[in-house]
Amino acid sequence: MPNIKPHCIGGFSECISIEDDYKRLCCELEELKRAGMMVVEHTGSQNPFTAHHWTVLKLLFLKMYVRDVYTPIIGRRYPYMVFIDLFAGTGLNAYENASFYIPGSTLIAWFYATYPFNKVYAVGYNKPRDNPEYVWLKRRLEWFIPRKRLNLLIGDANEKVNDIVKDLINLGDKVKEELGGGLHFLVFIDPNSHEVHWDTIKKLVELEKEGISGDFIILLQARMIAKLMGRIRSDPEKYYKASQELDLFFGVAEWKDFLSVKTELETKILDLYISRLQKLKSKALVERIDIELMRDIHYYLIYVTRETKSGSPYLDTVRWLKNFVERVDKKSIVDNAIREILGVKGAKITDFMKTSSEVS
pLDDT of the residue at 359: 33
pLDDT of the residue at 349: 37
Nearest of 4, 219, 183 to residue 110 by alpha carbon: 4
Is residue 249 included in any domain, yes or no?
no
Q: How many CB atoms lie within 10 A of CB 343?
A: 13
> Domain range for residue 165?
14-220+281-359
Is residue 157 included in any domain, yes or no?
yes
pLDDT of the residue at 321: 72
pLDDT of the residue at 125: 79
Residue 38, domain CATH: 3.40.50
Is residue 187 included in any domain, yes or no?
yes
Residue type present at position 229: M
Q: How many domains is the chain built from? A: 1
Q: How are beta strands 183-189 and 284-294 bridged, if at all?
A: unpaired
Positive or negative: CA dihedral 257, 259, 263, 265: positive
Q: How are beta strands 119-124 and 80-85 bridged, if at all?
A: parallel
Rounded Cα–Cα distance for residues 329 and 209 (Å): 38
Is residue 229 included in any domain, yes or no?
no
Is residue 71 included in any domain, yes or no?
yes
Decide: 116 and 110 in contact? Cβ < 8 Å: yes
pLDDT of the residue at 332: 66
pLDDT of the residue at 202: 97
Q: What is the pTM of this model?
A: 0.90
The low-confidence residues of the chain, meaning pLDDT below 70, are 1-10, 53-54, 128, 292-297, 308-315, 326, 328-332, 345-360
Residue type present at position 288: R
pLDDT of the residue at 339: 77
pLDDT of the residue at 282: 82
pLDDT of the residue at 20: 85
Is residue 262 included in any domain, yes or no?
no
Is residue 189 included in any domain, yes or no?
yes
Is residue 260 included in any domain, yes or no?
no
